[in-house]
Amino acid sequence: MTDVLRTPERRVEGREKVTGTARYAADAAREGMLHAAFAGSPYPHARVLAVDTAAARAVPGVRAVLTGADVRPARFGRRLLDWPVLAWDRVRFIGDRVAAVAADTPEAAERAAALVDVTYEELPAVFDMDAALAPGAPLIHPDAADYRMLGVTRPPVPHPNAQGHQVHEHGDPAAGFAAAARVFEHELALPPVHHAYLEPRAALVWIDGATVHVVTTNKAPFSLRAQLAAVAGVAEDAIVVHTPHVGGDFGGKGLSLDEWPLYFLARVTGRPVRSVLRYADELQISNTRHGARIRLRTGVDRDGRITAHEARVRFDGGAYAAGKPIPFLMPGEAMATLAGYRVPAARVEATCAYTNHLPAGHDRAPGQPQNSFAAESHLDLIARELGVDPLELRERNAIRAGDVDVHGDEWHASEMPRVLAELRRASGWGRPLPPGHGRGVALGARHVGRGKTSLELTLDERGDVVVRSGVTDQGGGALTMIGRVVARELAIAPERVRVEQVDTARSPVDPGVGGSRVTMVHGNAALDGARKLAAARDAGAAPPIRVVGSADQTAHMFGSYAYAVEVELDRETGAFRVVDATLVADVGTVINPVAVRGQLEGGFAFGLGQALMEELAIVGGRVVTASFGEYKIPSIADVPPLRLVLLTDAPGPGPFGAKSVGELANPAVVGAVANAVADAGARVLTLPISAEKVLAALRGGAA
């Protein structure tokens, strides 16, 4: 039989999705269900003096109105529990919730929420990261010492308005700078952006006897279960989390928002309570990518080879750190300021600040687009100053086996030189460009995912297999991947493997989708299970044969990639379009060929939006781009063709040698586009690269 992996996959959930029969959390309903609505703060920072709910309670159909006093001291978060379920003494951003209503209809709930009468006393607000971290800045979390941290002790921070702080140093930066022929310094900035997943958040909570049930859009159900257990003071095994199809995540849906007040509303009413977030609220209160300001200083020798590097990275964490799962309370790759390069000596300092903006959290390759935009622009400026071709400068500095990266870690293998050689060839680098065109390059690297999980496999009399896993599929193709790994190992057709995603009561603990881990971790667990099934079968065990497949993926390995992008620039308006793009990606063995292409092309479009247009514009703490009429993302008409070159022969730690692609290729798009526009005549140091900024740069002004 032909190799399963060479056949384009058929998505296990594809038919349901394209025929509209797929059910999402917003479709979940229960007998007697109530609808929730929330009252949010109109001020970015204020004391809550009094909350009067009399008028809200008088609305016909209202069953409960809760305020901060009813939930105190419940605060939620993925790691640090710093976000009050409902504010009782202080609101910290516009939209911070002060009351929750459950009513017979969504309209009644909304009408009542609008009638909650809150008396505020405004406090000085702080919106700028550096201002927030300055001595004497208004304190946003005076009670931070009381906050709980899940699983670990909170690392110390240098300022009460710091969410997280990290410093890394390796080699001898002072000596490296002293030895440098030239030293360059640049500062770049990026605004917060939203994931723009199709499906807004939704949740349904009900309490059945001693058991709390949650239907959610959260992509990590076991993590939500642990958080809810901590917030509600309920045992984990008294909570069942059901995650149906997730309609896009991009990291944002690791944080739950509505589930917490819904739990309290369900408890007080004894009824199921559901909410579906409006997209305007998605854009105003949810978990954005962090805005950032990044200053980089790099020394190079006469040939442009990096001798030392220094970085100061500031992230705008917004009002709460609740959206960040890693113990440092930073975006995951906060320190990766020169990802993919040999950096013999470095000092990198990163701080994530509390501000009175909406809270920031995880978004596809957290921290990487920020650092990639800064680093790739910085290196391009250096190449230009040195008179070295930008691709050539990258070839000289690309990390090779045995080199150390910006974290001081040695790479035992590196595909980066091959990626760049292939990019040079496939993009036709150096071919003369028409007037008004510019060409840019940027590279990137991302670790393949790590983590552990187990899943359950059953082989029946006919030789068919059922796999039960607690992993969610947020559109990445996890369930299809698991099925194909099992099918290939057992040499059966993929249709003979059924993969079921089951709730937290019926699955071994699972880390959920995220951190690019699923193919590495769940794929290896599926492979392990398939091997156990084969062994049992070959040993003569009688079906049904049931085994548990497990994996603990700890390998530290990277996927490498690079873009070449060509733009055409209208010098009279500053508008430009990407007319040609090449992506070379080191992806290892491909399990789902269609999904791999989809993730890489989608990552390109995702990065293109961030480069060209995406910005959650915030004025005085208020998001002014609170609809997709104002917050634009590329439509298919705006995405140019992408020439995609896959390097598949350098095996990764995943099943059959797979690596990850979900978060591989979006970060470097911004730098490649910025560098192409610069090549056409306009260097823009802040995102998005709007036509207006380009025109200002062309005319010699600041951009």
Partner 1 sequence: MSYAYHEPSELDEALALLARHGDDAHAVAGATAFMLLYRQGLLRPSHVVGLRRVRSLGGIRDDGGALVIGATATHREAERSPLVARHCAALARAFASVATVRVRNQATVGGNLAHADPAQDPPAMLLALDAAVTAVSPGGTREIPLAELFVDVLTTSLAPGELITAVRVPALAPGTRAAYVKFLPRTADDYATVSVAATLRRSEDGRVADVRVVLGAVGPTPIRATSAEDALRGAAPDAARIAEAAALARDAADPIDDVRGSAAYKREMARVWTERALRSLVA
Q: Under rule CB under 8 A, which residues in 665-684 are in contact with partner 1?
A: none
Query: Which member of 84, 272, 574, 603 binds partner 1 (CB under 8 A)?
Result: 574
Among residues 33, 179, 426, 624, which is the contact residue for partner 1, using CB under 8 A? Answer: 624
Work out whether 691 is an interface residue with partner 1 (CB under 8 A). Answer: yes
**Tokens 């959610």 identify what position?**
216
Q: Which of 72, 407, 496, 632 contacts partner 1 by CB under 8 A?
A: 632
Is residue 687 a contact point for partner 1 (CB under 8 A)?
no
Which residue number, 498 or 622, has a Cβ lying nearer to partner 1?
A: 622
One-character DSSP codes across 61-126: TEEEEEEHHHHTT-EE-SSEE-EESS-SSEE-STT-EEEEEEESSHHHHHHHHHH-EEEEEE----
Percent helix, strand, coil in the chain (nearest 5)?
30, 30, 45
To partner 1, the closest distance from the beta carbon of 611 in angstroms equals 12
Helix (H) or strand (E) holding 644: strand 643-647
Q: How far is the CB of 641 from partner 1 (least distance, A)?
A: 15
Task: Find, among 579, 582, 602, 566, the residue nearest to 645 by Cα.
Answer: 582
How far apart, in Å, are the Cα atoms of 244 and each of 155, 323, 568, 579?
A: 35, 21, 44, 39
Of 386 and 575, nearer to partner 1 (C-beta) is 575
**By the rule CB under 8 A, 692 interacts with partner 1:** yes
Burial of 598 per CB tally in 10 Å (0-12, 13-18, 19+): middle
572 binds partner 1 (CB under 8 A): yes
Stretch that binds partner 1, among 139-147, 322-330, 343-351, 691-699 (CB under 8 A): 691-699
Q: Tell me which stretch binds partner 1 (CB under 8 A): 288-296, 348-356, 458-466, 686-694.
A: 686-694
Quick one: which segment of 67-75, 340-348, 573-581, 674-682 binds partner 1 (CB under 8 A)?
Answer: 573-581
Packed helices 390-397 and 416-426: angle between N→C axes, nearest 10 degrees? 160
Q: How far apart are CA 700 and CA 703, in angstroms?
A: 9
Whether residue 345 contacts residue 309, with contact meaning beta carbons closer than 8 Å, is answered with yes
| Tokens describing residue 646 | 């896959």
430 touches 370 (CB < 8 A): no
Q: Of 119 and 573, which CB lies nearer to partner 1 in the complex structure?
A: 573
- What is the distance in angstroms between the CA of the first residue and the CA of the last residue of the chain? 59
Smallest distance from the beta carbon of 310 to partner 1, in angstroms? 34
- Site track for partner 1 across 279-298, x = CB under 8 A: -x------------------
Nearer to partner 1, 526 or 612 (CB): 612
Which window, 73-81, 307-315, 442-450, 627-635, contacts partner 1 (CB under 8 A)? 627-635
Q: Is 273 left (phi over 0), alpha (psi -120 to 50) or beta?
A: beta
Does 573 engage in binding with partner 1 (CB under 8 A)? yes
Per the structure block, which two tokens stand in for 53?
Answer: 């709910």
Q: How many positions of this chain bind partner 1 (CB under 8 A)?
A: 26
Q: Which of 323, 634, 652, 654 binds partner 1 (CB under 8 A)?
A: 634
Q: How far is the CB of 240 from partner 1 (least distance, A)?
A: 33
What the block records as the tokens of 421 is 């050689």
Smallest separation, CB 252 to partner 1 (Å): 21
Q: How far is the CB of 200 from partner 1 (least distance, A)?
A: 13
Q: Which stretch binds partner 1 (CB under 8 A): 12-20, 495-503, 560-568, 612-620?
A: 612-620
User: Which among 295-303, 587-595, 598-606, 629-637 is the span making contact with partner 1, rule CB under 8 A?
Assistant: 629-637
Q: How far apart (Å, rounded) are the C-alpha atoms in residues 421 and 182?
A: 27
Residue 612 interacts with partner 1 (CB under 8 A): yes or no: yes
Give the DSSP H or E segment for 268. Answer: helix 259-269
Give which of 97, 131, 113 is closest to 62, Cα–Cα: 113
**Residue 109 buriedness (CB in 10 A; 0-12 / 13-18 / 19+):** buried
Query: What CA–CA distance (Å, rounded) separates 521 from 527?
Result: 10
Least separation in angstroms between residue 696's CB and partner 1 is 8
Distance CA 216, CA 205 (A): 8
Q: How far is the CB of 18 from partner 1 (least distance, A)?
A: 17
Task: Check residue 690 for interaction with partner 1 (CB under 8 A).
Answer: yes
**Helix intervals (H) in 415-517:** 416-426, 478-490
- Minimal distance, residue 571 CB to partner 1, in Å: 10
Site for partner 1 contains 702 (CB under 8 A): no
Least Å distance, CB 289 to partner 1, is 17
The yes or no reply on residue 554 touching partner 1 (CB under 8 A) is no
- The size of the chain, in residues, is 703
By the rule CB under 8 A, 633 interacts with partner 1: yes
Interaction between residue 615 and partner 1 (CB under 8 A): yes
For residue 638, the minimal CB distance to partner 1 (Å) is: 5
Q: In the numeric block, which tokens belong to residue 471?
A: 């992993």
Return the number of the residue (134 or 617) whose C-beta is nearest partner 1: 617
- DSSP conformation class of 50: E
Query: Binding to partner 1 by residue 458, rule CB under 8 A?
Result: no
**Nearer CB in complex with partner 1: 557/674:** 674
Which residues, in sequence order, are CB contacts of 583 under 8 Å at separation 6+?
A: 561, 562, 563, 600, 604, 642, 643, 644, 645, 665
Q: Closest separation between CB of residue 575 and partner 1, Å?
A: 4
- Cis previous bond, 73, omega within 30: yes
Site membership for partner 1, residue 20 (CB under 8 A): no
Of positions 150, 175, 509, 575, contacts partner 1 by CB under 8 A = 575
Cβ neighbours of residue 689 under 8 Å, at least 6 residues apart? Answer: 576, 611, 612, 673, 674, 677
Positions 635 through 654 that interact with partner 1 (CB under 8 A)? 635, 637-638
**Cβ-based nearer residue to partner 1, 414 or 610:** 610
Under rule CB under 8 A, which residues in 102-131 are in contact with partner 1? 107
Q: Return the number of other C-beta atoms located less than 10 Å from residue 315's C-beta.
A: 29
- Taking CB under 8 A as the binding criterion, the range among 94-102, 591-599, 611-619, 648-656 that sits at the site for partner 1 is 611-619
Contacts to partner 1 by CB under 8 A = 107, 278, 280, 572-575, 612-613, 615, 617, 624-625, 627, 629-630, 632-635, 637-638, 690-692, 695
